[in-house]
Every structure is written in structure tokens, then in C-alpha cells.
């Protein structure tokens, strides 16, 4: 398929058609270079995915808290069995077994969210029951348990969980503790929860900021290569499981090297930033936008079939052409479009879109081509 710029006239076949006139020798030469490039790209992405298969910091933290809980509770369970305090000892042992079982389940399934919630219930509920059975002498266990909640849950969730726990403690202790001791315990618990909440909020903000930076291109603010690979895999999974259609749009700036040679790399960077902003102002909020490398960009249009994505590509091509991003001439782009097909991998999908983009560049630039 071929749609050309210039004065917005269509060159070649009318309307939407698939362009197949690519010479075998040229195409074979291109395919070899592309495969070499893509293999290097996949090697980089595989290295990044290998890192992702390791334990995340949050998983390691939950497992560490579980180990510390077992180490802290088990000796008391043994000691209480030796003293024939069977009820409390059984409670301690039940907590140890439950926490160990949840840790094993986390290692096997990596269901971090569910395990964190269950562990919080185990810690808080067990602590309240032990204090109920043994009295205020064990109230100090409330401090590490409530602090641990902020490591296991989101700040607001931990604050809510600890509020419920404190209400339970009030019910347990208010009839058995002097007013002074009661006030001392709960004022200190309030202070600990306040500081823990502030610390947890700041830590979550920093984590979100770092996560966003890790998935963004530093120059344009578009998604980076790692984020692109993740989104491609998610689109393929959605199509395989739920038949959610998706199309891929590759966009490359025409003659970008000459822009850098004429105006300098600083000006070229500014063109990339302004072009990215222009594209993001047009695409839907459900579309994902990435910088693939150099002057090449990718749009993943979820829920969009081939016709809709071709229409989007032509709108973007025209929008760039009339934007006057260059002072001396029109800035143009070439585009390749591919709709995800049944049984296709993310690599093959990207390969077809890149082949369509190559057709557009080879055939004169400033046009949209559709993959076969």
C-alpha cells in the first residue's frame, strides 16, 4: 500500500492496497541487515528480561520479613510448649507454619500482592490474640508488627489496617491496663504509625518516579525500548487470550541525517522532542508511543484494526508535513503499518511493520505502506 505526501496526492494504487513490488535481491539484502539488527535488539531485551526473572526488591523484603518473623516467634513457641502453655504455644506455632507456607507459595507463584495482605493479617491478628491471652506485657509486639504493615502494603492500606488493629487492642487492653500505661502505649503507637506513614509515602513516590524514568526515553519522554518490548508482548497476549485487535505503526523522519548535518545535533534533538509532542497530541490515550531508536518511533494502537491505523498514519504524516518544524523546508516522515495476525509473535509483528517502513523509504519517502 502506498500513500504519498507532496501535495497530499496518492501515488500508485488508489485507496488502501498492499504494495508487493519489492525486488528480491534488494529485499534479501535488507532482510539480512534487519535480522542482524533485530537479533542484537533481542539479545539486549533478553538480557533485561533475565534481570526481571530475579527476585524483585519487594519480594525479597517480604521473604526477609517472613524469615525474621519465623526466627522471632519459633523460639517462644518452643519455650511455651516446654512450659506447658499449650494454647499460646499452638498459636505461635500456627503463625510460624502459616508464614512459612505463604513464603513457599510466594517463591513458587510470585503472587506478591496476595501474600503481602495475608501476611499482614497473620502478623496483626496473631499479635492481638497473643496480647489478649498473655496481657499487656506483650504489647511491645505491636510496634514491629505495625511497622511491618507499611513494608507489606500501600501506605493508606497499612494505615487502615493498623487503625483496625489499634481498635482491637483498645478493646483488649482498656479493662486491664492503668490509664497511664494505656495512654503511653497508644500515644507511642500513634507516633510510630505517623512516622511510618510519612516514610512509606515518600518511598512510594521515589519508587514510582524511578520506575517511570526506567521506562521512558530521556530525550523525548516517549516509552523506551524496554517498555516497547513489554507492551508488544502484552498486546500479543491480549490478542491470543481475548482477541483484542492491535496494530503497529512505525514512523521514521525522512533525511534526518541532513538535518543534523545542516543545523547541528542540538537542533536535531529539538526536532525529535517537538515531533514526539506533536504525535502524542494526536494519538488516543489508549495508544502507546515509543522511541524505537534514533529518529524512529512506534505507536501501538490497541483495539484498532488495519484500516483505522492506516487512517491514523496518514493523519500523522499530514500533520507533520504541515507543522513547519523546519525553517527552510517541509519535514516529512515515512510510515509502516502492520496489524497483529493470528499466531504471530511480537518479533514477527515488528519485523513486518519494519519491512513496510522500508518499502516506504525505498519508494520515495513521505508515504505510508502496509505490511503484507
* Closest by Cα among 168, 173, 167, 163 to 194: 163
CATH number (domain holding residue 236): 3.30.70.270
Contact in structure between 332 and 275 (CB atoms under 8 Å):
no
Query: Considering 153, 183, 214, which residue would you say is the last residue of a domain?
Result: 214
Residues paired with residue 339 on neighbouring β-strands, in sequence order: 247
Model pLDDT, residue 28: 41
Residues 204 and 73 in one domain: yes
Average pLDDT on 22-30 reads 39
- Total tally of structural domains belonging to the chain: 2
Residues 83 and 203 in one domain: yes
Percentage with pLDDT > 90 across the chain: 68
- Which triple of cell numbers denotes residue 158? 497499612
Residues 350 and 261 in one domain: yes
Residues 233 and 361 in one domain: yes
Residues 30 and 70 in one domain: no
Model pLDDT, residue 109: 87
* Residue with more model confidence, 135 or 291: 291
Residues 85 and 210 in one domain: yes
Query: Considering 163, 192, 214, which residue would you say is the last residue of a domain?
Result: 214
Residues 264 and 247 in one domain: yes
Query: Considering 214, 235, 263, which residue would you say is the last residue of a domain?
Result: 214
Residues 241 and 283 in one domain: yes
Residues 121 and 204 in one domain: yes
229-237 long-range contacts, CB within 8 A, separation 24+? 229/45, 229/48, 229/49, 229/346, 231/288, 231/290, 231/300, 232/300, 232/346, 232/349, 232/350, 233/346, 235/300, 235/302, 235/340, 235/346, 236/340, 236/344, 236/345, 236/346, 236/349
* Residue with more model confidence, 115 or 26: 115
Rounded mean pLDDT of the chain?
85
Domain that holds residue 270: 3-52+217-370
Residues 307 and 232 in one domain: yes
Residues 38 and 72 in one domain: no
Q: pLDDT digits over 178-213, tens only?
A: 889 899 999 999 999 999 999 999 988 888 888 777
Residue 39 has pLDDT above 90, yes or no: no
Residues 221 and 350 in one domain: yes
Q: pLDDT digits over 46-89, tens only?
A: 444 444 446 788 889 899 999 999 999 999 999 999 999 999 99
Rounded Cα distance, 221 and 216, in Å: 6
Model pLDDT, residue 26: 40
Q: How many helices (H) and strands (E) would you count in the chain?
A: 12, 6
Q: pLDDT digits over 92-137, tens only?
A: 999 999 999 999 999 888 889 999 999 999 899 999 999 998 888 8
Average pLDDT on 129-156 reads 91
Amino acid at each position: 500500500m502506498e500513500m504519498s505526501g507532496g501535495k497530499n496526492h496518492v501515488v500508485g494504487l488508489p485507496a488502501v492496497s498492499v504494495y508487493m513490488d519489492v525486488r528480491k535481491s534488494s529485499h534479501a539484502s535488507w532482510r539480512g541487515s534487519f535480522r542482524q539488527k533485530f537479533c542484537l535488539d533481542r539479545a539486549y531485551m533478553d538480557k533485561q528480561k533475565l534481570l526481571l526473572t530475579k527476585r524483585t526488591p519487594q519480594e525479597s523484603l517480604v521473604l526477609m520479613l517472613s524469615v525474621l518473623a519465623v526466627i522471632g516467634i519459633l523460639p517462644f513457641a518452643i519455650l511455651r510448649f516446654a512450659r506447658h502453655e499449650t494454647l499460646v504455644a499452638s498459636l505461635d506455632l500456627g503463625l510460624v507454619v502459616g508464614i512459612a507456607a505463604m513464603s513457599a507459595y510466594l517463591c513458587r507463584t510470585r503472587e506478591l500482592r496476595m501474600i503481602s495482605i495475608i501476611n499482614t493479617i497473620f502478623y496483626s491478628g496473631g499479635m492481638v490474640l497473643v496480647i489478649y491471652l498473655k496481657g499487656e506485657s506483650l504489647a511491645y509486639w505491636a510496634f514491629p508488627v505495625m511497622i511491618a504493615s507499611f513494608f507489606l502494603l500501600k501506605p493508606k492500606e497499612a494505615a487502615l489496617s493498623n487503625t483496625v488493629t489499634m481498635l482491637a487492642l483498645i478493646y483488649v487492653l482498656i479493662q486491664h491496663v492503668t490509664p497511664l500505661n494505656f495512654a503511653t502505649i497508644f500515644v507511642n503507637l500513634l507516633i510510630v504509625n505517623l512516622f511510618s506513614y510519612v516514610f512509606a509515602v515518600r518511598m512510594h513516590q521515589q519508587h514510582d518516579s524511578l520506575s517511570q524514568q526506567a521506562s521512558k526515553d530521556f530525550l523525548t519522554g516517549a516509552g523506551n525500548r524496554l517498555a516497547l518490548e513489554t507492551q508488544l508482548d502484552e498486546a500479543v497476549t491480549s490478542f491470543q487470550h481475548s482477541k483484542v485487535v492491535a496494530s503497529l505503526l512505525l514512523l521514521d523522519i525522512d533525511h534526518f541525517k541532513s538535518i543534523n548535518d545542516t543545523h547541528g545535533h542540538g537542533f536535531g534533538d529539538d526536532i525529535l522532542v517537538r515531533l514526539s509532542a506533536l504525535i502524542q497530541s494526536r494519538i488516543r490515550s489508549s495508544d502507546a508511543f515509543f522511541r524505537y531508536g534514533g529518529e524512529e518511533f512506534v505507536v501501538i494502537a490497541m483495539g484498532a484494526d488495519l484500516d483505522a491505523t492506516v487512517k491514523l498514519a496518514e493523519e500523522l504524516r499530514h500533520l507533520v508535513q504541515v507543522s513547519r518544524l523546519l525553517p527552510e523546508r517541509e519535514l516529512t516522515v515515512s510510515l509502516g503499518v502492520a496489524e497483529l495476525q493470528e499466531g504471530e509473535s511480537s518479533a514477527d509483528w515488528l519485523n513486518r511493520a519494519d519491512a513496510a517502513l522500508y518499502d516506504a523509504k525505498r519508494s520515495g519517502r513521505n508515504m505510508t505502506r502496509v505490511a503484507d
